[in-house]
Amino acid sequence: MDRCRAISFSERSTGRTNSSASATFAGIVAGILENTPVSLKLYFLRHGQTPFSRDNAFSGAGLNPDLTPDGAAMAKAFGKAYQSLPWRAIYASPLRRTIATAEPLCAAIGVKPELREDLMEIRYGQWEGKTVEQVNQEFHDDYIRWSADPAWHAPTGGEPSVIIARRAMQVIEEIKQRYDDGNVLIVSHKATIRIMLCSLLGIDVGRFRYRLACPVGSVSLVEFTAEGPLLHSLADRAHLDAHLRSSRGT
């Protein structure tokens, strides 16, 4: 900003023409961009709608539903909107809903997804397939404890957030070791993405349900800068049309 102001002052004192000043400014900007190191950018894409997300039911690693027609449309919309980016790699959970979400982009750019079990969704145990109301009735005490602090309290027969953070961040570390720069896509799940973002941004993973949004078909962008991970966008769904953005569920 100071360099831009300096150009403005110089114009006034020397009486340069607008075209000359513009050329000088463009040259300085080009020099800055040329000397700016290219960084690693991670795109976190949640899978498209499933019957369970549509009905607001728990669907973790223990269930493997397909996408709904709207969910498949979300995947196609993402692939179309983002296929022009130069992708270094695509990582995905091995569940059907995440593979199907990654497929349109993979087909468009000719890249096979790197499947990692550590990107799978939280294991909800006995809560799988049940609605929040059902879980609250059948497993009330466990649900209250989990709601208060999911970092250390697991769903009945499931896993706590600290375990998810440990396994998912191993994939992030793998990506950082393999790629110094460029764009890498991670296709994963609602809880897992939020827990990874909390871990990267210094947010208590026990607060993942209350600090970050992650609706179906949304993408979040984190850049690794010299100062650490920088969140550029959260839960962006600009690539979806109005119908898909307003579809039922979480």
pLDDT tens sequence across 232-250: 999 999 999 999 999 987 7
Residue 207 to residue 148: CA distance in whole angstroms: 9
pLDDT grade for 10, boundaries at 50, 70 and 90:
very low
Q: 169 exposed, middle or buried (CB, 10 Å; 0-12, 13-18, 19+)?
A: middle
Dihedrals phi, psi of 48, to nearest 5 degrees = -75, 180
* pLDDT of 222 strictly over 70: yes
* pLDDT of 226 strictly over 90: yes
Question: Tokens 């995440």, residue?
Answer: 98
pLDDT tens sequence across 14-55: 444 445 544 454 454 444 444 445 799 999 999 999 999 999
Q: Which residues contact 184 (CB under 8 A, 6 or more apart)?
A: 40, 41, 42, 43, 87, 88, 89, 90, 91, 175
Could you write out the DSSP letters of every residue in 117-142?
Answer: GGGSPP--GGGTT-BHHHHHHHSHHH
Tokens at 145, concatenated: 């404890």
Tell me the fold of 40-245.
Rossmann fold (3.40.50)
CB count, 10 Å around CB of 162?
Answer: 15
194-225: buried (b, 16+ CB within 10 Å) or exposed (e) per residue? Answer: bbbbbbbeebebbebeeebebbbbbbbebebe
Question: Tokens 């909390």, residue?
Answer: 198
- Domain spans of the chain? 2-34, 40-245
Q: CA torsion, points 188, 190, 192, 198, in degrees to nearest 10? A: 120
Tokens at 54, concatenated: 């549509």
- Per-residue pLDDT averaged across 123-135, rounded? 97
Q: What is the pLDDT of residue 28?
A: 47
Residue 1's alpha-carbon distances to 28, 58, 75, 203, in angstroms, are 12, 49, 40, 31
182: left (phi over 0), alpha (psi -120 to 50) or beta: left
